[in-house]
Amino acid sequence: MSLNHYLIFIITLCILNVYGQFVPETRTGHSAVFSESEKKVYYIGGYNSNKSEPTEPNPISDFFYLSIGNDDFFEFTDLTSQAKLPLTVFHVSELGGANQDSIFILEGAHWNAEETNYVYRFDTKINQLSIPVVKGKAPSMRKGISSVSSEGKIYLFGGQIGSGNDVTFFNNFDIFDTINLNWQVGSLVNSPVGRSFYTATLVNGVIYYIGGRTQVNVYSPLTEIYQYDIVANTWSLKKATAVDADSMPGSRTAHSAVLINGKIVIYGGFFSSADTPYNIPAKKTIAMLDVNTLVWSIPNFDIRKENLIPNLAFHTGTAMGTLMLIAFGNFTDIPNSIDQTNKVIYSFLFGNPSQITSNVISSFVKVNSSNNPKPQLPTSTSNKINPQQPSSLSKVVIVGVSIVSVSVALAIFAAISVAYKRKKKNQVQSGDVLNNPNNENNEKYHYEYQQQYTSQFASQQSQQHYTRDPPTIESP
């Protein structure tokens, strides 16, 4: 992110704090759930690696949502004190229940490692958390699972326990019925080997599994797409190609994936090998897989705008019609001796494949402008109005004051910006080296790409780990 964009965002947050608006902290290992009927994205759990470990005996997770009003304003609302969810990271969350109005929180890692593998249920109508009585044998606690929800059932494959070089990968396939509240087991015939921090995307009753790590420093190539047919309860392996060699994304883990306009859009993630004692950004930060042809391509961005495409991992990706939100996580192209945490939410608008734009959003920031197509949000019959949203007049006042304040603040920081730009040179961005899709499993495959980062980061990262977790929550 450029200094100007960062300053604008920080100043906006200061203005919001003045007006008493809730502003979430940076985090990683969280989950995100989009409720179409309520036009809300719920962000659950995770932790801030910049903060010291909790001193209270039973710390709770952050729990808040981002709402979009009819006038396209974003607004955060904090539910932490109401939910009181025990501190949970690297878990999964999905909508479920007979009316699809409950969020189920499963698996992951807890501050209290001995905590029972509970299933938590959050009622979005009354903002209340409960632990329902569940039938069947609960699976072992794992982290790094990607889930999907279909017809009231949550599908969970793989995951891991442990961290560093002491990791066990699972290929368990568990199914949780959110209506009948019981655990089931899915077929493992022709299923992939154990893996974690991959992505799972539901497309017309078929789950597409992409990427992830299968062993320490061993990654699933993106030429291999595992599919699970929910109705048939069968697995199959499909081969993906690319429109050209440069459009083939590299192997990765801890990335995100969403479905937009018939294409699976993957974002971020990192890669490592025996040749690198640290992790580097995945090649091709953003790529799209056509679900019909299984052909990878790289999206085109509006060249008239300065689009923000940060290298992130352990973030969340959420699709709202033609809008993709990339929230929080860690930067993968910053040395570990520096703060890696991403403190903002990025929006990517796919209104036109040749005119994709990205930006930074925060509370009271409009999604669209006169120069951008309006996001196509899913329709809903819900006519609820958020009582915490200010009136239109209040919003106009807030926005007006915000613009003036930002202008004054930017003038003050202009000298800093100029000095900073003179010092900031030769930054490395992912996706500059051609990718050979035939060498995905070769450790030498990423050699040239690694050299770009080795000289810059090696001396600072050789003694570091990728994440700095609280001591009682192991990092992946």
Residue 352's pLDDT band, with cuts at 50, 70 and 90, is low
Q: How does pLDDT run across 218-263, given as a tens digit for each residue?
A: 999 999 999 999 999 999 999 999 999 999 999 999 999 999 999 9
Does residue 47 form part of some domain? yes
Distances (CA, A) of 343 to 85, 329, 472: 22, 8, 23
Interatomic CA distance for residues 290 and 270, integer angstroms: 22
According to DSSP, residue 328 is labeled: -
CATH of the domain at 75: 2.120.10.80
Round the average pLDDT of the chain to a whole number and report it.
78
The pLDDT value recorded for residue 74 is 78
Cα-only R_g, the chain: 22
Q: What total of structural domains would you count in the chain?
A: 1
112 φ/ψ sector (left φ>0, alpha ψ -120 to 50, else beta):
beta
The pLDDT value recorded for residue 1 is 44
Does residue 466 form part of some domain? no
The whole-number average pLDDT for the span 375-396 is 38
Residue 454's pLDDT band, with cuts at 50, 70 and 90, is very low
The pLDDT value recorded for residue 22 is 81
Interatomic CA distance for residues 360 and 140, integer angstroms: 38
Does residue 469 form part of some domain? no
3-state DSSP assignment of residue 258: strand
Residue 115's pLDDT band, with cuts at 50, 70 and 90, is low
Q: How does pLDDT run across 387-412, given as a tens digit for each residue?
A: 333 333 334 334 444 444 444 444 44
Write down the pTM of the prediction. 0.77
The whole-number average pLDDT for the span 105-109 is 95
Q: How does pLDDT run across 309-339, given as a tens digit for each residue?
A: 999 999 999 999 999 999 999 999 987 767 8
Question: Are residues 143 and 107 in contact, defined by beta-carbon separation less than 8 angstroms?
Answer: yes
The pLDDT value recorded for residue 262 is 94
Q: In the block, which residue shows the tokens 């890669």?
A: 271
Highest mean pLDDT, choosing among 282-286, 427-431, 469-473: 282-286
Interatomic CA distance for residues 379 and 381, integer angstroms: 7
Does residue 117 form part of some domain? yes
Domain that holds residue 186: 3-381+427-461
Q: How does pLDDT run across 155-214, given as a tens digit for each residue?
A: 999 999 998 889 999 999 999 999 999 999 999 999 999 999 999 999 999 999 999 999
Residue 20's pLDDT band, with cuts at 50, 70 and 90, is low
Residue 94's pLDDT band, with cuts at 50, 70 and 90, is very high
Q: Can you say how many angstroms the Cα of residue 463 is from the centroid of all Cα atoms in its chain?
A: 27
Q: Distance between the two ends of the chain, CA-based, in angstroms?
A: 26
Residue 471 has pLDDT above 70, yes or no: no
The pLDDT value recorded for residue 302 is 81
The pLDDT value recorded for residue 114 is 62
Interatomic CA distance for residues 108 and 141, integer angstroms: 6
Highest mean pLDDT, choosing among 146-160, 357-371, 432-446: 146-160
Does residue 476 form part of some domain? no
Closest by Cα among 77, 106, 78 to 94: 106
Does residue 388 form part of some domain? no
Residue type, 2: S
Closest by Cα among 188, 189, 235 to 208: 235
Query: How many Cα atoms occupy the beta-carbon half-sphere of 97 within 13 Å?
Result: 18
**pLDDT-wise least confident of 46-55, 114-123, 146-155, 358-367:** 358-367
Helix axes 392-423, 3-18, angle to 10 degrees: 150
Does residue 330 form part of some domain? yes
Q: What percent of the chain has pLDDT over 70?
A: 69
Residue 72's pLDDT band, with cuts at 50, 70 and 90, is low
The pLDDT value recorded for residue 165 is 84
Closest by Cα among 158, 280, 155 to 215: 158
Interatomic CA distance for residues 391 and 265, integer angstroms: 36
Give the β-pairing of 241-242 and 295-297.
parallel
The pLDDT value recorded for residue 54 is 77
Does residue 416 form part of some domain? no
Question: Are residues 102 and 122 in contact, defined by beta-carbon separation less than 8 angstroms?
Answer: yes
